[in-house]
Structure 1
Amino acid sequence: MPINIPKQLPAREVLEKENIFVMDDERAKSQNIRPLNIIILNLMPEKEKTEAQLLRLLGNTPLQVNISFLHTATYESKNVSKSHLEQFYTTFSDIKNRRYDGMIITGAPVELLPFEQVNYWNELKEIMDWSKTNVTSCLHICWGAQAALFYHYGIDKFELPRKCSGIFHHTLHDSKVKLVRGFDDEFFAPHSRYTDVEQQQIVENENLKLLASSEEAGPFLMISKDEKHIMITGHLEYEVQTLAEEYERDTEKGLDAYIPKHYFPNDDPSRKPSNKWRSHAHLLFSNWLNYYVYQETPYEWE
């Protein structure tokens, strides 16, 4: 089944070339189906790339999904045109009286700042508080996961000695949880961040369950005991070339960039990496939409 996105969204052309099933409002309205309404708070700087990455995964399920995009009102991104934001995005004040079946909060390039020093932190706190009663299930990615762990459960992040970047081996801890149905006992996933959270704090928190972790990259996948919040510290949505683009960007900026671990063949940036996480990315998003959104959300919000 398709995802329903604005007809003129640039990511549409990318997805259609990959045979991802998308539709516009006209066709969606002709179907007598209760679609899922998903709101994506996109905090990533290159918003159009993130849109395509997430829509690719949300569009590969048997459910019709209406997608809306949210950006912060207290900070305007410098890497996307104002016209793009005006055409495809809304702000919290416009949707705070609505209900959504699911919400995704992306990562953001502000990891090295204390949460309280992020210029849109108060706005994000308001959105996360609103989500408790207005959203059935929330999926938090990378910095978005760390923000959720801090706001909802009091678990703070800490700075790493060097950036955690690469494709890392992970171990599944509980295959019986619906979110990881179909997962292999061991799998790969990309990480790209400067901070981490203490795994022991997650294990000891009575409101959280650790589902997967990596010896090199730390805790990876967590779910709240009430199953309302899912936190992913990595980037399963990344395309195969994303880490290479980040490495090239950091190198060009003169930063102390390290070659992403276990990514380029023989650690040679001139060689093309391969995708080792695509199937688990699709499986996680499919499981989330099915078991935690579609199966749990009311047909009609009160």
Structure 2
Amino acid sequence: MPIKIPDTLPAFQTLVNEGVRVMTETVAVRQDIRPLQIGLLNLMPNKIKTEIQMARLVGASPLQVELSLIRVGGHKAKNTSEEHLLSFYETWEEVRHRKFDGFIITGAPVETLDYEDVTYWNEMQRILDWTVTNVHSTLNVCWGAMAAIYHFHGVPKHLLKEKAFGVYRHVNLKPSSVYLTGFSDDFGVPVSRWTEVRRADVAKVPGLEILMESKEMGICLIHENAGNRLYMFNHVEYDSTSLADEYFRDVDAGVPIKMPHDYFPHNDASLPPLNRWRSHAHLFFGNWINEIYQTTPYDLEEIGNDR
């Protein structure tokens, strides 16, 4: 089944052009199916780009999925038009009465700040607490993952001496995990962050299972069964050119930046990068959506009643 998003959303035509099946409200209501309700709390500055990246992966599932776009109310976006936000987004306060089968919390360009110094941290804490009772499974990404694991378990983030940047080999530590079905033993994952969560800190918290890890970059993915949460510290959702866009942005701005590791062919920034993580990105999101489908209550209102 295709993903249901507004047909005027910029991501709609992009996904159609890529061969991802999408549907309009008119078509969706004719199908006697309860679509999975997936919320996307988009904290990224370029919201349209992130919408496309996430919708592309969520929409590749054979299940019918309805994607809701959500933003924090206590922060004014600088890189996305107010018209776009008013047309396609709801604030968390406007959806807090709802329940979701799955909920994605993205990264945000605030990772070098202390959590308490982030302007919307109080709202973020309320959202994270709300996911316990109103969301069946939460996928926290990059800063969203660091914020969640800090909020729920006090696991700190550590500032790196230089930016972790590039495509790094990762090891499949738990091939039997439902989230890693079909994964290779090792694979490349895009990394772009200034902070890290360390294994020694994670090991102090019972119930946190490390699923993916890199020798150079450390932990990539953690599963927490008790809270039905995933913590993804890197960016499997990235486009082929995402790291290049970041690199050239910093070069043009005169910001010191190393060439992304193992990304450009022959380390030549004039050559277009090859996407070597796309298949695993689709596997990961497909596995997550399938696990939600297998375990979520049919009645949305039952979500959270067992916690």
SS in 2 for 1:295: helix
Aligned runs of 1:34-73 on 2, under 5 Å?
34-73=34-73
State the 4+ residue runs in structure 1 displaced beyond 3 angstroms. none
Assess if the C-alpha contact under 8 Å between 2:101 and 2:300 holds in 1. Answer: no
2-side partners of 1:98 and 1:187: how far apart?
A: 37
Aligned runs of 1:186-225 on 2, under 5 Å?
186-225=186-225
- For the aligned residues, what is the CA RMSD? 0.9
- Residue 185 of structure 1 corresponds to 185
Assess if the C-alpha contact under 8 Å between 1:203 and 1:210 holds in 2. Answer: no
Aligned length: 301
- Residue 284 of structure 1 corresponds to 284
TM-score for both structures, normalised by structure 1: 0.98
1-side partners of 2:211 and 2:203: how far apart?
A: 10
- Residue 145 of structure 1 corresponds to 145
Assess if the C-alpha contact under 8 Å between 2:156 and 2:201 holds in 1. Answer: no
TM-aligned CA deviation for residue 227 of structure 1: 5.6
1:23-51 Cα shifts (integer Å, max 9, x gaps): 01111011000100011000011110000
- Residue 80 of structure 2 corresponds to 80
TM-aligned CA deviation for residue 199 of structure 1: 1.4
SS in 1 for 2:45: coil
SS in 2 for 1:171: strand
1-side partners of 2:133 and 2:227: how far apart?
A: 14
1-side partners of 2:14 and 2:161: how far apart?
A: 37
Aligned runs of 1:225-240 on 2, under 5 Å?
225-226=225-226, 228-240=228-240
1:69-119 Cα shifts (integer Å, max 9, x gaps): 111111111000000000000001111111111100000000100000000
- Residue 119 of structure 2 corresponds to 119
1-side partners of 2:215 and 2:177: how far apart?
A: 21
Assess if the C-alpha contact under 8 Å between 2:102 and 2:136 holds in 1. Answer: yes
Matched to 2:298, the amino acid is: Y
TM-aligned CA deviation for residue 301 of structure 1: 2.6
- Residue 7 of structure 1 corresponds to 7
TM-aligned CA deviation for residue 155 of structure 1: 0.3
Assess if the C-alpha contact under 8 Å between 1:111 and 1:194 holds in 2. Answer: yes
Assess if the C-alpha contact under 8 Å between 1:12 and 1:22 holds in 2. Answer: yes
Aligned runs of 1:250-265 on 2, under 5 Å?
250-265=250-265
TM-score for both structures, normalised by structure 2: 0.96
1-side partners of 2:300 and 2:212: how far apart?
A: 33
1:195-230 Cα shifts (integer Å, max 9, x gaps): 001112223421200001001111001000326110
1-side partners of 2:125 and 2:295: how far apart?
A: 24
